[in-house]
Homo-oligomer: A and B are copies of this chain.
């Protein structure tokens, strides 16, 4: 099993873009043709899952990875969680790497259980290993013990983690900008860098299997984070619907244009709502998603790579 960062870097090279599509399906925003025709939980889950599968089919030839956000499935209880795992398997079948956006974080003895359920090889022969993502997002809020069980699994099976360092929501500043000489997000960045610094965790590409979620804010502070974490792959939220441009994401990349992966969710999967695409592709929402994905992938490629 190859190192996660090597696999992701290779996939980005093959697709010529470090763009990652986020699968965040909300029932109310599905294209008209994809909405459930019956009421009830099962029909809602089927609609969301079917939409997710179709989006994955459309974007699979264009991007190296998808990020599937667990919240959008947990909203449908265990039925939705089942759809989450089936979508992970579907994305794998389409040749994509998959990041499970679960942002779990709990004390050590509990973190082991979360790690088993979200990143480890299944302990049961009747569970398809393809249902488990290649990486997950984590909260580092409870310290190293909350992250270590995931990191151990990542090293053993060539998987990865992305620990939250700087969220895209400005409302999080009241937490992450705490501090005087050193800010809290800088402290967290240092911890995350340390958690992934062991040589055994670094791939051939020079990146660790312990990554960071780093939203682009002002260029200087982002560049400082990038310089402080030379071996840490960045998963970059905030592009598109959340307001950040590809240029704003530029400081998240290393000098050679690698080391960061930019996520867009709503601006791609709801392209049918965007007049730019809706007019051109009329009733073909898949074509709208495809074009939005190609534009996103090209935009990211413009600021990254050689």
Contact = CB atoms under 8 A, between A and B. Distances in A.
A113 B72 contact: yes
Contacts of A81: 77-78, 81
How many copies are assembled? 2
A168 B143 CA distance: 11
A176 B191 CA distance: 12
Contacts of A139: 105, 139, 141
Given A105-B103, A107-B169, A167-B142, A125 B40 contact: yes
A178 B175 contact: no
A46 to B, nearest CB: 13
A106 interface: yes
A75 B139 CA distance: 18
A172 B107 contact: yes
Interface in A140-175: 140-146, 164, 167-169, 171-175
A7 interface: no
Interface residues of A, number: 65
A107 B127 CA distance: 31
B178 A75 contact: no
Contacts of A184: 178-179, 184
Interface in A63-79: 69, 71-72, 74-79
A44 interface: yes
Contact of A79 (B69, B76, B78, B171): B78
B40 A117 contact: no
A205 B87 CA distance: 46
A114 B102 CA distance: 11
A167 B117 contact: no
Interface of A: 24, 26, 39-42, 44, 69, 71-72, 74-82, 84-85, 103-108, 110-111, 113-114, 116-118, 124-127, 131, 139-146, 164, 167-169, 171-176, 178-181, 184, 187-188, 191
17 contacts: A24-B110, A39-B125, A69-B106, A77-B81, A77-B117, A78-B85, A108-B169, A139-B139, A142-B164, A142-B175, A143-B171, A144-B174, A146-B169, A146-B172, A179-B179, A179-B184, A184-B184
